[in-house]
């Protein structure tokens, strides 16, 4: 997908807890049809954050994108989620067929929870182990390693 703009490396967090194997595979296939894929993490099972519900399967995906962040989010990712059956509810932690969030855009970290949430840190660290937290100098690989041993997260053998 080209908008004639600067190409950025973008890292996306993907999650699903409704038929997650099928929906993660479908999301990756849809994204692959739209963007050059740089890397795909392993899949990780985590409990839901902020509410009850089935466990999530989570992954991270790196793409190259020429769209500005807002266009990526509202012209591609949100419509893709909707086409896959995602219904946005008042409860932002409600179960969902798919969640696709940009977490790094170029050099900008969009979601500071990559440093505290296993469902984000562990998959992303597979793709960007050398990423450093600007204020503390802490590396994502070490954060992910700590979370892998202290959080309820499990590696899943699922090919995307």
Residue 56's Cβ-count burial label (10 Å; 0-12, 13-18, 19+) is buried
CATH class of 8-111: alpha beta
pLDDT in tens, 22-49: 999 999 999 999 999 999 999 999 988 8
> Which sequence spans correspond to the domains of the chain?
8-111
How far apart, in Å, are the Cα atoms of 90 and each of 16, 41, 53, 82, 87? 18, 30, 16, 16, 10
The predicted structure's pLDDT at residue 20 = 95
The predicted structure's pLDDT at residue 89 = 73
Asked if residue 148 lies in contact with residue 122, where contact means CB atoms within 8 angstroms, the answer is: yes
List the catalytic residues: 86, 96, 99, 101
Instruction: Write down the mean pLDDT value for the chain.
Output: 91
């Amino acid at each position: 997908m080209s908008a004639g703009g600067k190409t950025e490396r973008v890292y996306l967090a993907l999650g699903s807890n409704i038929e997650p194997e099928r929906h993660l595979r479908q999301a990756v296939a849809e994204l692959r049809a739209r963007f050059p894929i740089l890397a795909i993490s392993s899949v990780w099972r985590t409990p839901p954050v902020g509410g009850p519900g089935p466990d999530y399967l989570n992954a991270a995906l790196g793409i190259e994108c020429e769209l500005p962040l807002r266009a990526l989010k509202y012209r591609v990712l949100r419509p893709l989620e909707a086409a896959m059956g995602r219904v946005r509810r008042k409860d932002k932690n409600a179960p969902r067929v798919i969640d696709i969030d940009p977490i790094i855009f170029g050099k900008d970290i969009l979601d500071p929870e990559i440093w505290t949430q296993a469902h984000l840190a562990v998959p992303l660290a597979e793709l960007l182990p050398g990423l450093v937290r600007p204020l503390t100098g802490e590396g994502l690989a070490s954060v992910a390693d700590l979370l892998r041993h202290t959080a309820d997260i499990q590696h899943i053998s699922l090919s995307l």
